[in-house]
Each structure stands twice: as C-alpha cells, then as structure tokens.
Amino acid sequence: MILDAAEIIEGYPFVAKRWRRVPMCDPAAVHACCELARELAEGAVADEPAAVFFAFASRRRAFPFAWKLMATLLSRRQAEVNGLVLDLSKAAFDASTSRSTPGGHAS
C-alpha cells in the first residue's frame, strides 16, 4: 500500500527542518504523486518503492525545494514499510534524477 499523502504532508515540516529545506509543499501535487505511484505499481508491492520514487522525482512541484530529498526518503520509507531494502548509492541516485537533454547530456 502506497504511503498516505496526508501523513506525508503532515510530516514534511519536520523533515524540512531536519534537512534545512524550505518547508513548502503543494498538497494537491503530493496527493497526485501518491495516486500516480499507485497506478504505476499496479498493486505489486515490490514495485511500489520505484513507483514512489518516479512519481515524486517527476512531479517536482510537490516539494519544490526538496524534491530529490523527498523522492529518496519516501521511496526508502516505502521499501521499509513493504519489508524491502532499497540500496541506492549517491551515484545511482544522481543518475536517476538527472534529466537528459536532446544532445544526450544530463542537465
């Protein structure tokens, strides 16, 4: 089961303070991300962490000043809730959150 959007929104001020981020989020976008993650995972528990990561990394307005942090924290939390281990190195994380440009270069 995908993490609850209301709980994510409620907990974000603590996360923002802890990680020194701007405590601003778009609640509608957080709800939309959780719904997208549900659709992407299609009920497959093993796919939920990746679905959460993709949803929050691709809809950056949910946490405009902390989207990378939140995509990582939420996907790891989803894995933990599901009894899975998500081992994402910094290099793998950086590669997965970079955008490709038409010339093939990451931005």
Supply the pLDDT for residue 22.
Answer: 96
Supply the pLDDT for residue 20.
Answer: 97
Which stretches of the chain drop beneath a pLDDT of 50? 100-107
Q: What are phi and psi of 100, to 5 degrees?
A: -85, 140
For the chain, the domains span 5-95
Supply the pLDDT for residue 4.
Answer: 98
pTM of the model: 0.82
Supply the pLDDT for residue 101.
Answer: 34
